[in-house]
Amino acid sequence: MNYAKSRIWTELDFEKDGKQVGYLHLPHSVDRSGAGTIAIPCAVFRNGAGPSSLLMAGNHGDEYEGQVALTRLIRDLEADDIKGRIIVVPAINLPAAMAGTRISPIDDRNLNRCFPGNPNGTPTEQIAYYVEAVLAPMCESWLDLHSGGASMAFMPYAQIILSRDEALNKRALAALEAFGAPLSLIQGFSDEPNMSNSAAVRNNVIHFGTEAGGSGTVNPDGVKLAYDGTLRSLVHLGHLSPRNRRIPIPPAPKKVRWIEIASRDYYVYAPQAGLFEPMVKLGDTVKKGQLYGHVHFVDDPMRLPAEVKFKASGLVVCMRHPGRCERGDCLGHLATDIKR
Ligand code: CA
């Protein structure tokens, strides 16, 4: 595709061999800094010809596990360790990451609903545009590390979202297998055009990632999954040799549990505003019709709590984290096993 020029500039040279750690500069003129920029950290590792991959976290600013894993990777990795080119952006929506919020505090936009972005739009739209029009076209693979953020807690897993492109699906599935998460989710195809997975498909780039924890905290198991899985992926993608001398490649788990979210019925939504008290825990297996919990009305003590039941059977892989809910808030979702 031919794209208009992005306003984001960088001193990084994506074609140069070596390790460069610098910034993507998004012009942002504010009271404090009339000619200022938002400086989004970015590292480029290049060692000769070979594949190109984009590793990204902080698409949502309050999803921390991938941000920790990729900043560590930038410190650990040297250009000599790899073949080809690896672009690492550990906090792509930097204003959101610095605020610890899902969406940007500057423009109230959710980066993962902004693709393909706009070269002259709001800061978040410009970031989306830069990723879609500049970074993704340089690469064949895109790892996008997500988590539950402040409002959700996930059993850490890795995932792909299927597209209509069977050849890309096959390559993405191979990358997901190589990532080696003990719990791995294959999501049915999505037509949401504004998410990063669609941006990848538009660029003929494979897209895979994680839901590595959440609850507004840093889940150590999620960080380990994100870091170890990233290294295993770099081997699979042809960047790292499994016999390299400096970076030990963590062994993949012996057994992988493959899951999917088969339909909307596996999601649970709050029927009323109130205080949600769950009766199950993350990782529980539940049955259709089973009580998930109660929405309490603490301002009306004699009013009976509303019952919330599961509409399907499955594994509880995601639960809402905050106690208070509004009608329509997602209270969590299930996944079910698939044969592979
Ligand atoms: Ca996310």
Q: For residue 4, what pLDDT is reported?
A: 87
CA distance 73 to 87: 11
4 lies in some domain: no
Enclosing H/E stretch for 172: helix 166-179
Residue 171 CB neighbours (<10 A): 19
CA distance 84 to 73: 16
* Together in a domain, 305 and 173: no
- Domain limit, last residue, from 261, 282, 297: 261
* Together in a domain, 220 and 177: yes
User: Which amino acid, one-letter code, is at 167?
Assistant: A
Phi and psi at 185, nearest 5°, equal -115, 130
Contacts (Cβ under 8 Å, ≥6 apart) of 44? 12, 13, 14, 16, 19, 20, 22, 85, 86, 87, 88
CATH assignment of the domain containing 322: 2.40.50.100
Calculated CA dihedral for residues 258, 276, 66, 217, nearest 10 degrees: -130
128 lies in some domain: yes
CA of 230 to the centre of ligand 1 (A): 17
CA of 212 to the centre of ligand 1 (A): 10
Phi and psi at 151, nearest 5°, equal -100, -10
CA of 318 to the centre of ligand 1 (A): 12
Closest CA to 224 of 246, 251, 242, 243: 251
CA of 265 to the centre of ligand 1 (A): 21
Q: Please count the structural domains in the chain.
A: 2
CA of 146 to the centre of ligand 1 (A): 5
Q: For residue 1, what pLDDT is reported?
A: 61
Q: 330 lies in which domain range?
A: 264-337
- Domain limit, last residue, from 210, 232, 261: 261
* Together in a domain, 146 and 113: yes
Contacts (Cβ under 8 Å, ≥6 apart) of 233? 141, 143, 175, 178, 179, 208
Q: Which residues of the chain have pLDDT under 50?
A: none
CA of 210 to the centre of ligand 1 (A): 9
CA of 57 to the centre of ligand 1 (A): 9
CA of 74 to the centre of ligand 1 (A): 22
User: Which amino acid, one-letter code, is at 260?
Assistant: E
CA of 58 to the centre of ligand 1 (A): 8
CA of 149 to the centre of ligand 1 (A): 7
CA of 243 to the centre of ligand 1 (A): 33
* Together in a domain, 77 and 198: yes
| 139-150 residue pLDDT tens | 999 999 999 999
300 lies in some domain: yes
| 70-104 residue pLDDT tens | 999 999 999 999 999 999 999 999 999 999 999 99
Alpha helices by DSSP H, listed for 38-165, are 65-76, 94-99, 123-130
Helix (H, G, I), strand (E, B) or coil at 55: strand
CA distance 118 to 156: 32
* Together in a domain, 289 and 219: no
* Together in a domain, 244 and 311: no
Q: For residue 340, what pLDDT is reported?
A: 82
| 175-218 residue pLDDT tens | 999 999 999 999 997 778 999 999 999 999 999 999 999 999 99
* Together in a domain, 313 and 181: no
